[in-house]
Structure 1
Amino acid sequence: MVDRKDVGSWLEGPRARTNPGEWRGQRLGMPQSGPGAIASFGPRLVGVAIDWAIATFIAAGLFHVPLPFSAVTPKGSDTFVVLGVFAVMHLLLVGTLGSTIGHRVVGLQVRSVGGGPVRPLQALGRTVLLCLFVPAVIWDVDGRGLHDRIPNTVIVRTR
């Protein structure tokens, strides 16, 4: 359960540390670097961009949503179609394989805190919160967004 102490860590910012020798994920039993360490922002952003691009092409093929670089101006509802495709991709892939296509390309995986695979309800909660966007940009000192904190998941490096 999230309590006042947990919210305080977000208010301190993602780089705040109580001890100079601490690293992101140490409180969760994660290694400092290498496979199993908490993923940094750069690869996570690249992974989401890859997944969004794939969702855009799928939406264009299945639902005739115009591509961003086409001559046709997309309607506002087209973005929600792409978001829906992104959500279904994320839910199915994270819920079954533990990673999306973008995650695999950049060497990331979503796991339950403690190292186990993501359970279906965790994947559902994470997907809903990720699609709301705001929880994904509120991070704690361990580098976990609210979309990871609430379902008790963490995104780690695989290589």
Structure 2
Amino acid sequence: MDKRQAIGSWLSGPRAAAEEAGVDFGYRGQQLGLPEEGPGSIARPGRRMGGIAVDWGLCMVIAYGLFAGGDQQAMGNWALGIFFVMSVLTVGTVGCTPGKALFRLRVISESGGRLAPGWVLLRSVLLCLVVPALIWDRDGRGLHDRLSRSVQVRV
């Protein structure tokens, strides 16, 4: 292996280097038995980030409406609380938040059914901590989804 090849594999990341060596990772969601594309496939990061941005914006508007005139820090804290309650209630009942519904996403259990209330609560707590949502596995699921045994799929 010459220097250019070594630097190229380093820049492209370990997954690309392993694929060049012949390792077959399959597509996202294959290990979970989900389709590669279309309804029921694992949601892509762009859609998930768009959904959470809409949800956060909605929570900020609600917090501003309820606590107009308050300081920005307190409003951000209230928005986080509203986000938590909204996540628990909407994912626990209809399987998606307003932002996820806008981007045509749904949260389901790994077995394909509705997520149990305890798992919804755990998922919402971990999502509010932010860091678990930033650690992804090879399927593109955040740590909050893995620990709560959930999957975000396209509708």
What range describes the TM-score normalised by the shorter chain of this pair?
Answer: 0.7 to 0.9
TM-score calculated relative to the size of structure 2: 0.83
Equivalent position of 2:66 in the other structure: 62
Residue 106 of structure 2 corresponds to residue 109 of structure 1: yes
Q: Which residue of 1 aligns with 2:31?
A: 27
Deviation at 1:126, TM superposition (A): 0.5
**In structure 2, the residue corresponding to 1:155 is in which secondary structure?**
strand
Matched, 1:75 2:79: no
Q: Of the candidates 30, 46, 49, which is equivalent to residue 50 of structure 2?
A: 46
1:141, distance to aligned residue in structure 2 (A): 0.3
Is 46-55 or 56-65 further displaced after alignment? 56-65
CA contact (8 A) 1:125 1:151 kept: yes
User: 2:124, 2:138 → 1: CA distance?
Assistant: 22
Alignment of 1:87-106 (within 5 A): 87-106=84-103
Shift of the 65–153 alpha-carbon distance from structure 1 to 2, 3 Å rule, reads: farther
Identity of aligned residues (%): 47
Higher helix share: 2
Distance 1:61 1:75 in 2: 13
Question: 1:78, CA displacement in angstroms?
Answer: 2.2
What does residue 36 of structure 1 align with? 40
Structure with the bigger RCO (C-alpha within 8 Å, sep 6+) is 1
Answer yes or no: is the 8 Å Cα contact 2:133–2:144 preserved in 1.
Answer: yes
Using a 3 Å threshold, how does the CA distance of structure 1 residues 149 and 85 change in structure 2: closer, same or farther? same
Offset of residue 76 of structure 1: 2.2
1:119 Cα deviation after fit: 1.1
- Letter of the aligned partner of 2:108 in structure 1? R
For 1:116-136, what per-residue CA distance to the aligned partner results, in whole angstroms no more than 9, with x for missing partners? 011111110000000000000
Give the root-mean-square deviation of aligned CA atoms. Answer: 1.7
The DSSP-based 3-state class of the residue aligned with 2:138 is: coil
Gaps in structure 2 of 5+ consecutive residues? 1-13
Give runs of ≥4 in structure 1 deviating > 4 Å: none
1:108-127 equivalences under 5 Å are: 108-127=105-124
Partners of 1:64 and 1:81 in 2: CA distance: 12
DSSP-derived class of the 1:86 partner: helix
Residue of structure 2 in register with 1:69 after alignment: none
Q: Does structure 2 retain, via aligned residues, the 8 Å contact 1:65–1:78?
A: no
| 2:99 alignment partner AA | G
Q: CA deviation at 1:65?
A: 6.0
Shift of 1:64: 2.4
Cα distance in 2, alignment partners of residues 27 and 46 from structure 1:
25
Matching residue's letter, 2:83? F
